[in-house]
Structure 1
Amino acid sequence: MSRSILRSSLAVASAAATAFVLVACSEPTEGGSDADSTASSSDEQVTITVYTSEPEEKVDEINAAFMEAHPDINVEVYRAGTGDLNARIASEKQSGDIEADVLWAADSPTFEGYAADGDLAELENVDTEGVMEEVIDEEGFYIGTRIIPTVIAYNTDVVSEDEAPQSWQDLIDPQYMDKLVMPDPAVSGAAAFNASVWLESEKLGEEWITALGENQPMIAQSNGPTSQEIASGSRPVGVVVDYLVRDLAAAGSPIATAYPEEGAPYITEPAGVFESSDNKEAAETYINFLLSEEAQKIAVEQAYLPVRESVDTPEGTPALADINLLTPDLEAVTEGQDAAVATFQDAMK
């Protein structure tokens, strides 16, 4: 349990409100109300800005539910991929303060870096009771909000269930030459994390990454295009986050998931509060909502795996306890991520 997280759960107000959310092309507003006038006041509305890599329609749904429960807190969003978010934050730091209150994106190594640089505030009033211990930062700077494993996916019109690869080792078989697709770790935070986990794994390592490259997989920009390539049959087998497979299958695409026998690396889409935020109380109220049973059930409806074992996984998905999740040394994965991305890119040439 984190040393600074959680003293008490925050009460949820019940009222109707109009959701106002800015999409990726929008610029977040600067400034905001002083922290003393945050969620504790029902007469004034505080605006918090969230930087996120969540898909637009999914973050919109979460924010609408949050603002209905908390009409005194307005949420504005800047949405982009993890790499673009990191570039924006770096630019803002160079010119002044970070212009957001909450970062909700990507993976633990990303947050480890921001915590080490002093960009994140220690969480003081975030309730972690009932939340999986694996997603809670021991230092108290961030907390995971969903479980997002990376899996093997395949097109069911091209590959039968009996023939589908069931392990990472299966993917280096020559039969998959020119049939694989996976996201670019230089763009995707999840893919960069995976590369580091694979490189650190005793069962896989650099030898496996090199052998994978010999099968000449297509490197798509991110997980979204990767899943589309698999669903179309253009590259019938691939490596992708599991919720996209569920989304496509629910929409009628011929695509299915295999959780690798060696275990699936996973990210937790953490959330944290920027140290420069003037609205830390409201920002922590937002994070409390992301962890609440209400929001976790919305996450499951959005095809994610929850961080509360009390909330069921999506229909047709194994229970959390039945999924083999890789839990590598986070410090080693964080420190080795840049080298892992370079190793991966060299192997794919």
Structure 2
Amino acid sequence: MRKAVTRRDIIKSTAALGLTAFAAPLKAASPEPVSITPDLIEAARKEAKVILYSSMDLPVGEKLGKAFEEKYPGIEVQIERSGSERLFQRLNQEVASNIRAADVVNSSDASHFITWKKNGWLAPFVTQDIAQHFLPEYRDPDGMFATTRIWLSSIAYNTNLVKPEDAPKSFADLLDPKWAGKIVKGHPAYSGTIMTATFQMVRELGWDYMEKLSKQRVMQVQSSTDPPKKLSLGERAVMADGNEYGIVLLKESGQPVEPVYPIEGAPTISGPTGVFVTAPHPNAARLFQAWLHTRETQQFFIDFTAQYSVHAQVQAKPGRRKISDIKLMKEDPAGVEKMTEEIKTRYARLFKV
């Protein structure tokens, strides 16, 4: 069995490589904002491909890829999809083997970008849209990445199996003995969403809460996209975590699911995107990054995926709940970075997975 790669391993392996291939400085002057120009489009077309590493649900990534290909014929989008924690390990292994495959990377664990920036793996690139319409807290000051999407990890229930009046209203409610053997949840060692959500829940509720939850005979799945699917199939009555947008989309398609925004606050997840300094298709990578953060693409993305955008000009889709109306747990990517290995170890011990 291949040993899991830790952030400490990454720092060690990067030092051993001497950062020969990743010579970008840890602190660089923020680049001047750029626009999409005919020269950039032509250079991208000559490369003919962009490779996106992403934790987005595959149908979401494919829809985005097709939209980009329609906008810029002649440039293929190749998507490498996996859970963010697995992508993090894969990228480290590729760097150690001098494999340069990733052009653009989107992760559901924002703390990854802290590590990648420290290692000099990201290329500075800022567009006019990012500079003008993204608040400073949603873009790296040195231009290494920007927040492409925000979403929540919520509770939810199957409306065929649970009456609204009986549904849990809080994380504390999930500890009720009546939910034993009826809960599904994702795994923080696979999913960046669940890693981030677990950090926030532990910070707010303590490890004692997780220990009690682990005794509820929980169905353990990997990705944050899995709990909504298990719920809609009726394999479990309640989900303890998982992406809220999956529940919203399933509900809109007529499936018997309902989101619950816990009274303690819903864990909040950011999904940044950045261009890798060793991108094999650097111009196509920059074109994709620029296109992804335009108002038009952000609006399309939000309408299609039921996630949230930080682009100031994007509007919420009518009929959907605004994020401003939801009580949220606060994000802390630096805190996640420090606690990642502890979370993986303690979670595996508690849930025996």
2:102–2:279 Cα contact (<8 Å) kept: yes
1:233 counterpart residue number: 234
State the Cα deviation string for residues 7-51 of structure 1 (Å, max 9, x = none).
4352477xxxxxxxxxxxxxxxxxxxxxxx853548745432211
Q: Distance in 1 between matches of 2:47 and 2:146?
A: 26
61-70 vs 238-247, which deviates more?
61-70
Give, in angstroms, the shift of residue 93 of structure 1: 1.1
**1:339: how far off?**
0.6
47-56 vs 265-274, which moves further = 47-56
AA at the equivalent of 2:125? L
User: SS at 1:268's partner residue?
Assistant: strand
Aligned CA distance change for structure 1 residues 223 and 259 (closer, same or farther; 3 Å): same
Match of residue 35, structure 2, among 6, 10, 15: 10
Q: Sequence identity of aligned pairs in percent?
A: 27
Q: CA deviation at 1:162?
A: 2.5
Amino acid at match of 1:233: G
Tell me the equivalent position of 2:342.
Answer: 339
Q: Structure 1 residues 341, 126: CA separation in 2 closer, same or farther (over 3 Å shift)?
A: farther
CA distance in 1, matches of 2:63, 2:184: 30
Partners of 2:342 and 2:44 in 1: how far apart? 50
Per-residue Cα deviation, 1:182-216 (whole angstroms, up to 9, x for no partner): 01112112111211222222xx0112111211222
Answer yes or no: is 1:142 the counterpart of 2:145.
yes
Matches within 5 A, 1:215-230: 215-230=216-231
SS at the partner of 1:49?
Answer: strand
Q: Give me the TM-score of the superposition, normalised by structure 2.
A: 0.82
Question: Is 2:109 the counterpart of 1:107?
Answer: yes
CA contact (8 A) 2:44 2:75 kept: no
Alignment of 1:302-317 (within 5 A): 302-317=305-320
Deviation at 1:338, TM superposition (A): 1.6
Q: 1:132 to 1:218 in 2, by over 3 A?
A: farther
Q: Residue 154 of structure 1: which of 154, 157, 167 is its match?
A: 157
Residue in 2 aligned with 1:81?
Answer: 83
SS at match of 1:103: strand
**SS of 2:70's equivalent?**
helix
> What is the aligned partner in structure 1 of residue 92 from structure 2?
90
- Alignment counterpart, residue 176 of structure 1, candidates 158, 176, 179: 179
User: Is the contact between residue 195 and residue 341 of structure 1 (CA under 8 Å) also seen in structure 2?
Assistant: no
Aligned letter for 1:82?
S
Partners of 1:55 and 1:328 in 2: how far apart?
22
- Summarize the Cα distance change of 1:264–1:110 in structure 2 as closer, same or farther, 3 Å threshold: same
* Deviations 1:105-131, CA, capped at 9 Å, x for gaps: 322012222222222122344631223
Q: Which moved more, 1:62-71 or 1:213-222?
A: 62-71
Deviates more, 1:57-66 or 1:268-277: 57-66
Matched, 1:320 2:323: yes
Q: CA deviation at 1:103?
A: 0.7
CA distance in 2, matches of 1:281, 1:189: 28
| Cα shift at 1:257 | 0.4
Worse-superposed segment, 105-114 or 120-129: 120-129
**AA at the equivalent of 2:309:** P
- The equivalent position to 1:329 in structure 2, one of 324, 329, 332, is 332
* 1:67 paired residue number: 69
Alignment CA distance shift 1:81-1:126 (3 Å): farther
Conservation of the 8 A alpha-carbon contact between 2:188 and 2:343: no
CA contact (8 A) 2:31 2:142 kept: no
Kept in 2, the 8 Å contact 1:5–1:140? The answer is yes
Aligned residues: 323
Moved more, 37-46 or 303-312: 37-46
The whole-number CA distance in structure 2 between the counterparts of 1:237 and 1:112 is: 34
Residues in 2 aligned to 1:225 and 1:64: alpha-carbon distance in whole angstroms: 24
Matched, 1:197 2:200: yes
Aligned to 2:251: 249
Q: In the alignment, is the contact (CA less than 8 A) between 1:5 and 1:126 conserved in 2? A: no
- Alpha-carbon spacing, 1:138–1:11, altered in 2? closer, same or farther (3 Å): closer
Q: Which is further off, 314-323 or 230-239? A: 314-323
The residue type equivalent to 1:184 in the other structure is: H
Structure number with the higher helix fraction is 2
Asked if structure 2 preserves the Cα contact closer than 8 Å seen for 1:182 and 1:220, the reply is: yes
Give the counterpart letter for 1:237 in structure 2. V
AA paired with 1:66?
F
- Provide TM-score, normalisation by structure 1: 0.83
